[in-house]
Chain A
Amino acid sequence: MPDATGLQLLAAELGDATLETSYFREQATIVVDPARIRTVLQRLRERGYAFLASVHGVDYYPEEPRLGVLYELLDMSSVDRITVKLRVPVDAPHVESVTEDWPTADHQEREVYDMFGVVFEGHPDLRRILMPEDYEGHPQRRDFPLGGEPVIFTRDETKWLEARE
């Protein structure tokens, strides 16, 4: 991890693309401007964070802007990790895709799109990856119903029959 001072230096280097930094339990996080995520990741790659370990989504409901996308970067020569975060509102969930720079982001961005509905602009093939292609909605959003099936167990069979009558 870059320590707290290193994180400040890194944030200063990124300039006004940085919105916020946090250093919590040895985890360095930078919140950046969603419009400039691609250039930010390129700058960090030049600084040695050459491995994109994960791209994932978060729903911060009821906070606004609701949707978050997290990029976990790793510097493999110094075993140094940093988290890059961005937040987009749910009515305009558009983020520039980084698949061109980081091919590993391809399927992970598709997963974030599938589960949270974040639209990655410039993605070569933005389709659902886990749910069926005709599925409606984005199930990991917090306002999405949990779903599931009512199951009749023997212990509450009578209850079911009474409810039906």
Chain B
Amino acid sequence: MEVSRGPARPAGGVGAGRPGSQASSSREALRVEGLNARQLLRGGDLQGANQPAQLEGSDLESYVAERLLTTTLEKTVAWARSNSFFPLAFGLACCAMEQFHTAGPRMDIARFGFEAFRASPRQADLIIIAGRVSIKMAPIIRRLYDQMLEPKWAISMGACCSSMGVFNNYALVPADKFLPVDVHVPGCPPRPEALMHGILKLRKMVQDDPDMGWRERYGAVGTEEHPSGV
């Protein structure tokens, strides 16, 4: 799906700013062309007194190529989503202490737009399972995850909820057993840098492949809230 409006008609400037024409000075040319590009991006089809100059052939193509950024809607949406995760304010154990520090001034995860820790799963789209998950806690976490709106992602933070770490015994259950985990952050506990690296990895994954194929990986096809996908 294309964002750009085609066929792009070159829009004339306020003056006689015909692209490629010899403007009286290069500064004026820049100003006029910049204005044209802005109006074009705004979707303005200028119906002014100054009719746009008609371009043809390679002139038209280079004019459009210089002024339009074309991309797919999926990529744009993934870009927006991946730069504004809303993590769930949720911690289980000592990893949660490190998780707080990612939001603190030294790591300052707000630089990337992830600072909006939500208190309700219905407003969050990223769950960071920070700590050890006991068997009794697992259904509660699964419920929180189910309450989050799609698209949603999960980060398993620390050794305990990835490989159960030093607590590999009767009491705990690894996070992969009850929800689809996208990124595992190793460490015991991981430093804030490590968690931030994990979130940035997730951002990269979301940008490359918004759906990341977890439904196929976990055989969860048919449970979509919106069968159409996005």
Contact = CB atoms under 8 A, between A and B. Distances in A.
A132 B174 contact: no
B170 A139 contact: yes
A151 B170 contact: no
Interface stretch (A57-65, A68-76, A140-148): A140-148
B83 interface: no
Nearest to A132: B136
B168 A151 contact: yes
A56 B163 CA distance: 30
A147 B174 contact: no
Interface centre among A139, A145, A147, A153 (most CB of B within 10 A): A147
Contacts of B173: 149
Interface in B85-139: 134-136
Interface string A86-109: 000000000000000000000000
B22 interface: no
B168 A135 contact: no
Interface residues of A, number: 13
A130 B137 CA distance: 10
Query: A-side binding surface: helix, strand, loop or mixed?
Result: loop
Nearest to B135: A132
Interface in A116-146: 130-132, 135, 139, 144-146
A25 B169 CA distance: 33
B170 A145 contact: yes
Interface string B161-177: 00110001111111001
B164 A135 contact: no
A138 to B, nearest CB: 10
Nearest to A137: B170
A19 B168 CA distance: 39
Nearest to A146: B169
Nearest to B172: A148
B136 A131 contact: yes
A139 B135 CA distance: 13
A148 B169 contact: yes
Contacts of B168: 148-149, 151
Nearest to B159: A151
A148 B172 CA distance: 7
B136 A130 contact: yes
Nearest to A128: B136
A131 B170 CA distance: 10
Contacts of B177: 149
B207 to A, nearest CB: 26
Interface in B170-187: 170-174, 177
A135 B135 contact: yes
A139 to B, nearest CB: 4
Contact of A149 (B134, B136, B164): B164
Contacts of A130: 134, 136, 171
A146 B170 contact: yes
Given A132-B135, A148-B172, A151-B174, 20 more contacts: A130-B134, A130-B136, A131-B136, A131-B171, A132-B136, A139-B171, A144-B170, A146-B170, A147-B169, A148-B168, A148-B169, A149-B164, A149-B168, A149-B173, A149-B174, A149-B177, A151-B163, A151-B164, A151-B168, A153-B163
Interchain residue pairs A-B with the least CB separation, the first 7: A147-B170, A148-B168, A151-B163, A139-B170, A132-B136, A148-B169, A147-B169
Interface of B: 134-136, 163-164, 168-174, 177
